Amino acid sequence: MGQGSFGGSMWRCLGDKCGGWFAVETRFVLRVSLERPVFCMRGSGGMWETAERFIFGRRIGVLKGSREERVREIYGDYMGDQICKIPIIHNGPDDHRIWFHNPLGSYSTKSAYSWMTLKHVGFGPHRAFWRLIWKLYTLPKIKVFCWRIGHDILPTYENISKIRRDLNCMCPCCGIEKETLIHALKDCPRARAVLIYGGLDNALVEGNYRRCVDWVEDVARSLDNKALSDFVTVLWNIWNNRNNKLFRNKEDNEKVIWDRAALLNRDFRIFNFVEKPMIPKPVVERGWQKPDVGVVKINFDAAVVGRKMSFGLVARDHDGFVLGGRAGVLEINTGAEWAELWALAESMELAREKRWLKLELESDCANLVNRLKSASVDFSTLGFRIRQLLNSFEPCFVFNFVWTPRCCNKAADQLCKWAFKNNFSKAFDMDYPTEIHDVILRDAIN
């Protein structure tokens, strides 16, 4: 039985066992189910023969093919007579279909796709889950991980077996059951040991769930926002440990996994990124840090504007004295990361010319610094170029790549802007440009 409201009137849909549907007026408001797509009829006129259920607006009628005897047999004499006596207005407006899953009542491919997607993920029972995952006090990539849990699209063996039929679905960690998502994050003995070590309530660890999203939603009913964020971070570390076991044959114990999740929250101070602190901290601008004795620090930076890029780099010793540097403009159509890599190559080439063997290369491009520190496992085109650059130097050169905020890289940044403004290239030794004199002096004093 389904119901709907049209033109200020309430109508009830009654269905018989033969597939016939009738509409009668009612005073009760009913919900339309999401079990199947629902079309309705508005107005009056001819009858429709279709597999979908219909709700009639102005017109009340009986679908073709339903006999009065069958109606009375199913609904009884009294209800059957009431249905069969419903008058039909012959001079009313024409009938037309209405698609329930669009506010305007018109069907579109987008609305049908949205309805099918919501039906697949169980939108009705998990409305709260989809609202809360984006409000967690955690890193964006962990929020995306939680979103993938809700859609059950993490690459578990069971999901992969739907594509590769010959794949063994058994869990790679325990080998006891099929590796579903709920098994990998909750029921696997390795995952359960991590959850129990963290002191999670047994009522949350125990229980049988068919889908992982049901379990996470039940946990969300018992934890506050911050605790739930920590819980999702633990699940993320459990999944990473499973991947390390699978791809690297390396597995950590439950204490290490739990401590890593706790350390992640402390190191990044996630709550400060999401919400303002009750008492704001005073803003303290950091300055350039001097290197150790015998080490040459090279700060480099690059910028891209249209089809041009500019770079700037400056080398200083442990006292803050300038040893040399470069600035230049190139007619190259490239991206920001490749421009930063070009500035790095210029810095390393300067070190080769000057025979500086101990180097600290500092940049404010976090992505490039991360690639430099994991160059051996970066199989992208940029990673290949980085390995090629590093392998071109003799083993006597020692490089230390460091990320620094923009406020500590002002000298290289101003050199980059100066070169772009004047559209020329220049190399210098100790006689650095006067445009960066104030920055050099301030960094040396600090």
Cβ burial of 386 (10 Å; 0-12, 13-18, 19+) is buried
Dig out the tokens for 202 from the structure: 């047994």
Residue 84's domain spans which residues?
2-119
HSE value, Cβ hemisphere, 13 Å, CA-based, for 137: 21
Give the residue-averaged pLDDT of 22-38.
37
**pLDDT per position as a tens digit, 322-343:** 999 999 999 888 888 999 999 9
Dig out the tokens for 324 from the structure: 């040399």
Give the model's pLDDT for residue 217.
84
HSE value, Cβ hemisphere, 13 Å, CA-based, for 435: 16
In a domain, 290, yes or no: no
Q: Domains in the chain: how many in total?
A: 3
Residue where a domain stops, chosen among 68, 99, 119: 119
Dig out the tokens for 284 from the structure: 């303290």
CB neighbourhood size of 390 (10 A): 14
**pLDDT per position as a tens digit, 416-442:** 989 888 888 889 988 888 888 888 888
**pLDDT per position as a tens digit, 243-274:** 988 888 888 888 888 777 777 766 444 444 44
Give the model's pLDDT for residue 211.
85
Percent helix, strand and coil across the chain, each rounded to 5?
A: 45, 15, 40
Using CA atoms, how far apart are residues 99 and 60, in angstroms rounded to an integer? 19
Give the model's pLDDT for residue 18.
39
Using CA atoms, how far apart are residues 12 and 320, in angstroms rounded to an integer? 84
Using CA atoms, how far apart are residues 157 and 364, in angstroms rounded to an integer? 40
Asked whether residue 220 falls in the same domain as residue 268, the answer is yes
CA distances (Å), 361 to each of 46, 83, 316, 396, in order? 80, 85, 11, 16
pLDDT band at 88, cuts 50/70/90? low
Candidates 179, 187, 177, 181; CA nearest to 150 is: 181
pLDDT band at 184, cuts 50/70/90? very high
CA distances (Å), 423 to each of 328, 329, 342, 347, in order? 8, 6, 17, 20
Give the model's pLDDT for residue 356.
92
Give the residue-averaged pLDDT of 84-103.
70
In a domain, 13, yes or no: yes
Residue where a domain stops, chosen among 79, 95, 119: 119
**pLDDT per position as a tens digit, 353-403:** 999 999 999 999 988 998 898 888 888 888 899 999 999 999 999 999 999
In a domain, 253, yes or no: yes
Higher pLDDT, 318 or 66: 318
CATH of the domain at 418: 3.30.420.10
pLDDT band at 84, cuts 50/70/90? confident
pTM: 0.41
Give the model's pLDDT for residue 341.
92
